[in-house]
Amino acid sequence: MLKLRRYLPDVLWGLGTAIALSVVVWFVVSSQGFRDCEQHQGQYPTAQNTYDKSAAILVSDPSVVSIWLSCSGGFANENGAAITALATIALVLSTILLWRVTKVSAQAGRDSVDIARRALTELERPFLAFKVSQTGVEVDSLGVVAPKGNLISFFENIGRTPAILIEHCDHVLVVPRGEFPQPIDPDNPQLGETRRTVFPIGVAIGPQLHYSLEENMIPKPMTDPLWYGFADNSKTRANLFVYGFLRYGDIFGGHYLMGYCAIFVITANRFIPIGGPEYNYFRKEQ
């Protein structure tokens, strides 16, 4: 189907040209002047007899071709003004068609370049993944949670080009059981307990490298009023979340926004991704 659409204009142009030539030939040989010329030459009584002859006669008898050429020349001489007008119209139409074809070809070339550029950008741009390598808490045999050092998370660049860091916001927060924390608005982050970092120019994550973030969990029992609701092993145990967003760019001038959210699972003793599109998202901003 694609090939048919590609060659359809050429087929229609060829068909139209053939029809136009056929009409011209029919118009010439059917004219009274051409028929009178034929009869004057004494080759055939009428133009209709000419149609009845096979191609072999034309080849074996060159005089037929000579008569046709002579009579066609006479026709052209008698109708020079009309032929000139028709040729001018045909030239105008062919010029318009040529302009149209050139315009379509140029647009196709621009589209091809744009597609190739976008494909190259999409293939070569950085891809970041959020992971937690150290939870910063420990769970004892009774299921009680206590802070232990730093919560260490990182962004790993699994793409082919560097990720240029622009802005990062995150929050480590305990919320009641069955609830989710308030999402962070990337365009208007409410700072409070939210950490916000605006990176200076030149901070980047190279391909197959990572950028680490640390949060000291030792003060959490004193700074988070719901901490003990999470630490104690109870049926109404609260949940510990780490969530936020990262804004970064690429070497092609693109800007991206990545959101993430993870919850600490007691039984697995690790953070796992959780939440809907208001927490986990990827958007191209520019």
- Residue by residue, pLDDT tens for the chain (286 residues) are 545 555 666 666 667 677 766 766 666 666 666 666 766 665 544 444 444 544 444 444 555 566 666 666 666 666 666 667 667 877 777 787 777 777 777 776 676 666 656 655 678 889 999 999 999 999 998 999 999 999 999 999 999 999 999 999 999 999 999 999 999 999 887 766 678 899 999 999 999 999 999 999 999 999 899 999 999 988 889 999 999 999 999 998 999 999 999 999 999 999 999 999 999 999 999 8
> How many contiguous H segments (helices) and E segments (strands) does the chain have?
8, 12
pLDDT attached to residue 154: 97
pLDDT attached to residue 44: 47
Tokens of 55: 């191609």
Say if residue 285 is exposed, middle or buried (CB neighbours under 10 Å; 0-12, 13-18, 19+).
Answer: exposed
196 φ, ψ to 5°?
A: -130, 130
Tokens of 121: 């950008």
First to last CA, the chain: 35
Sheet holding 150-157, edge to edge: 128-134, 150-157, 210-216
Tokens of 5: 């659409």
pLDDT attached to residue 217: 94
Going by C-alpha positions, the residue among 251, 239, 141 that lies closest to residue 207 is 251
pLDDT attached to residue 151: 96
Would you say 242 and 274 are in contact if contact means Cβ atoms under 8 Å apart?
no
Tokens of 86: 């028709």
What beta strand segments (E) does 194-254 contain?
Answer: 195-198, 204-205, 210-216, 239-249
Could you give the 3-state DSSP secondary structure of residue 176? coil
Angstrom CA distances, 256 to 210, 245, 247, stand at 17, 10, 6
pLDDT attached to residue 45: 47
Beta bridge pairs of residue 137: 147
